[in-house]
Amino acid sequence: MDTPKKRSETLRESIEELIAVGKLAPGQHLDETVLAEQFGVSRTPIREALIQLASMGIIVMRPRRGAIVAEIGPQQLIEMFEVMAELEAMCGRLAARRMSAAEHASLMAAHQACKDARDAVDPDTYFYKNEDFHGQIYAGSHNAFLEEQARVLQRRLRPYRRLQLRVRDRLKRSYDEHEGVVNAIIAGDSERTVELLRQHVMIQGQRFADLVASLHQLKIAPNGERSAFSDALA
């Protein structure tokens, strides 16, 4: 049965996905009426979905001015990736100690799916398979609280993690880094896993320069419309 709560949660997931893939850009105004028409619902579940997204930091609710997609400046972005790197490293340390043989097999399957997307030079598919790969590690930590915190921040950073994958050669480098992480986890080498995951997620040096240079791709044009380049990313 499609209860009001379930409907608003489904809408939240749908709107969150539009933000993650760049169809709703940072700073973009979210019109409740337009969204209600788009999804064929009333404004009430849309408003509830937006409140949920605001509580996650994905959008900002402004009194009397409506909601906008949250924007993250370069300094805040680097700080968030620093925390993400540490959360992933913690998950990896525990996963190397605690994952079962069946979980190793699932991790390998997720790794193979990333390889298939890499070989197809398909950054959009790789983005989703990459999320699954990291999700296997979060779950493999067998620490529900840590897994929840990692997933929350991962979702907050989705548009920016996706954008990274469009930097030249990043698909190949990402997959190669995954390979080392998989080997370390299966070997039970927790400290090596920590080191590799930290390096994999941390945004620094050239990777940070590339990301900052690409941030304009997520922005809105001065007339309030998304740029043609942003549309091409969607």
Amino acid 192 reads: R
**pLDDT, position 212:** 67
CATH of domain 4-71: 1.10.10.10
What pTM was estimated for this model as a whole? 0.79
CATH topology assigned to domain 74-214: Four Helix Bundle (Hemerythrin (Met), subunit A) (1.20.120)
Q: Where are the domains of the chain?
A: 4-71, 74-214
Residue range 102-126, pLDDT digits in tens: 999 999 999 999 999 999 999 989 9
> Which DSSP string do the residues of 56-100 spell out, in sequence order?
TTSEEEETTTEEEE----HHHHHHHHHHHHHHHHHHHHHHHHH--
Residue 67 has φ and ψ, to the nearest 5°, of -100, 150
